[in-house]
């Protein structure tokens, strides 16, 4: 059982919803990014999504694109991202970490080398947004063989014909993208999300976590109420971009996690 699977089993047993937070590795620099990351579990975060900076982040809105740009300009690399995970793991061996990004840096590193390093560093799962199910042999199946969860995105345009293909090798949880478009583009609405979550639950026993467009404690609560949990990324990354002090960023994260956990 991976840390992700253990965490969701624990939450289910406690009757709680999950709160997942996203930050970009190395934004605005490694020291600040690591300080935020280390504070996330104490701020109520159940699963950390760690963005892997990439030069062409096509699924991301301006806020996260700029975060990746800042990280790259500060010298962030795949190797330094994995070292950041190792540094986090010296004080926390329980919080699940999902690496979220694009295939190119992994392909460049070499899939087998990357998977061995990611597992050793303490990564638990991958969300690779530009690898469709038709490419499962590239990374998804080797990742699962290496003991990492491969988490798939489902969207409002994933119809019933496509859904079984999307679900077939997914593990850990399913990430439902609540809006059509890029991250941070619009606000998620629970009334729209609820029927979609119900539809996904007919296709899988995995937890359904909803992200994109969740920005406030109230929306975190409302979305978590109709799903198994929620993800917040852009709203947190925006505060990092504003150079807010780390304690202030973590206080905001705490308000979001309190919202999600009150659902």
What is this structure's pTM? 0.96
| Whether 7 contacts 47, CB under 8 Å | yes
* pLDDT tens by residue, 2-57: 999 999 999 999 999 999 999 999 999 999 999 999 999 999 999 999 999 999 88
| Residue pointed to by tokens 């935020």 | 36
Structural domain boundaries enclosing 244: 3-261
What whole-number distance in Å separates Cα of residue 88 and Cα of residue 167? 31
Give the number of domains in the chain: 1
* Catalytic site positions: 49, 60
How many angstroms from the chain centroid is the CA of residue 203? 21
* pLDDT tens by residue, 137-170: 999 999 999 999 999 999 988 999 999 999 999 9
* pLDDT tens by residue, 81-138: 999 999 999 999 999 999 999 999 999 999 999 999 999 999 999 999 999 999 999 9
pLDDT band at 181 (very low <50, low <70, confident <90, very high): low
* pLDDT tens by residue, 163-180: 999 999 999 999 999 876
What whole-number distance in Å separates Cα of residue 56 and Cα of residue 73? 14
CATH of the domain at 120: 3.20.20.70
What whole-number distance in Å separates Cα of residue 51 and Cα of residue 100? 5
pLDDT at 59 > cutoff 90: no
Three state DSSP letters for 109-161: HCHHHHHHHHHHHCCCEEEECCCCHHHCCCCHHHHHHCCCEECCEECCCCCCC
What whole-number distance in Å separates Cα of residue 33 and Cα of residue 54? 16
């Amino acid at each position: 059982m991976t840390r992700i699977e253990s965490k969701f089993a624990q939450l289910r047993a406690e009757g709680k919803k999950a709160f997942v937070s996203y930050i970009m590795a190395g934004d605005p620099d490694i020291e600040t990014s690591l300080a935020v990351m280390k504070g996330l579990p104490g701020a109520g975060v159940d699963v950390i999504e760690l963005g892997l900076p990439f030069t062409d982040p096509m699924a991301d809105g301006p806020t996260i694109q700029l975060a990746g740009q800042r990280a790259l300009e500060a010298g962030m690399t795949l190797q330094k991202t994995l070292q950041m995970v190792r540094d986090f793991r010296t004080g926390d061996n329980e919080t699940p970490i999902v690496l979220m990004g694009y295939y190119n840096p992994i392909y460049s590193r070499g899939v087998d080398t990357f998977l061995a390093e990611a597992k050793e560093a303490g990564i638990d799962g991958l969300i690779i947004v530009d690898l469709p199910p038709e490419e499962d042999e590239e990374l998804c199946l080797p990742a699962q063989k290496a003991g990492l969860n491969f988490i798939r995105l489902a969207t409002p345009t994933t119809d019933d014909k496509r859904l079984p293909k999307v679900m077939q090798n997914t593990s850990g949880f399913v990430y439902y993208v609540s809006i059509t478009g890029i991250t941070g583009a619009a606000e998620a609405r629970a009334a729209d999300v609820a029927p979609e979550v119900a539809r996904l639950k007919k296709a899988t026993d995995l937890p359904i976590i909803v992200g994109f467009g969740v920005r406030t404690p109230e929306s975190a609560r409302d979305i978590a109420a109709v799903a198994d949990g929620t993800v917040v990324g852009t709203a947190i990354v925006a505060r990092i971009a504003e150079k807010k002090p780390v304690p202030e960023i973590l206080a905001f994260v705490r308000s979001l996690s309190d919202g999600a956990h009150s659902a």
